[in-house]
Homo-oligomer: A and B are copies of this chain.
């Protein structure tokens, strides 16, 4: 057990850089300076430069980094050069939100199919995709098995969904359900914990309030 937890902040920042770069490319810009990315991200420019250095592409002194080259380098770094195909389990509000996330397409993620167990939902269309019956998942996906399974079910049914995905031979799971999944050791799970973000905010708030209190004392 006890997987090594890789939590590199650099990796998490990359999509935000990419977002800005794609925007700049769209308006016809050719070069970007690290200070500009830093300003956008509200982080120090040295952080940006260190991150970019990891992608291996050089900049031009006094000019900055070539946007096209940087976009490609980041895509390479993240393994986003080839399209990654995914299936979504759970067409609730969170699943629907993910389907509507347009940038995924540019990021190399293609959500090809959507499954749910709710008979009220099966057959309906969300974001231009028909919700399919989870009971039929193995027949539907047999021909063209996606690499990634995205779990947006309730916590109660997430493990069942994971078992189904694993049985189909899907080895990469992006888990938004609020549970730790039990999977074979060769299956890779990326878990999103929404409450983790709230914990971060709460601690910032706590520190802010303490800081203000001590400010008052100093006055």
Contacts and interface: CB of A to CB of B under 8 A. Distances in A.
Q: What 10 A-B pairs are tightest by C-beta distance, nearest first?
A: A79-B206, A15-B195, A190-B201, A12-B196, A94-B97, A93-B96, A93-B97, A93-B93, A2-B44, A79-B202
A101 to B, nearest CB: 7
Nearest to A203: B11
Given A7-B9, A12-B200, 7 more contacts: A15-B193, A41-B180, A78-B202, A93-B97, A101-B194, A104-B195, A148-B205
A172 interface: yes
Interface in A103-134: 103-104, 107-109
Interface in A1-27: 1-3, 5-9, 11-16, 19
25 contacts: A1-B42, A2-B42, A5-B43, A8-B203, A15-B193, A16-B193, A16-B195, A78-B199, A79-B202, A79-B203, A84-B202, A93-B97, A94-B94, A94-B97, A103-B178, A104-B198, A108-B202, A109-B198, A148-B205, A172-B201, A172-B204, A174-B197, A188-B204, A188-B205, A190-B197
Contacts of A196: 11-13, 15-16
Main secondary structure of the interface of A (DSSP, over half): helix
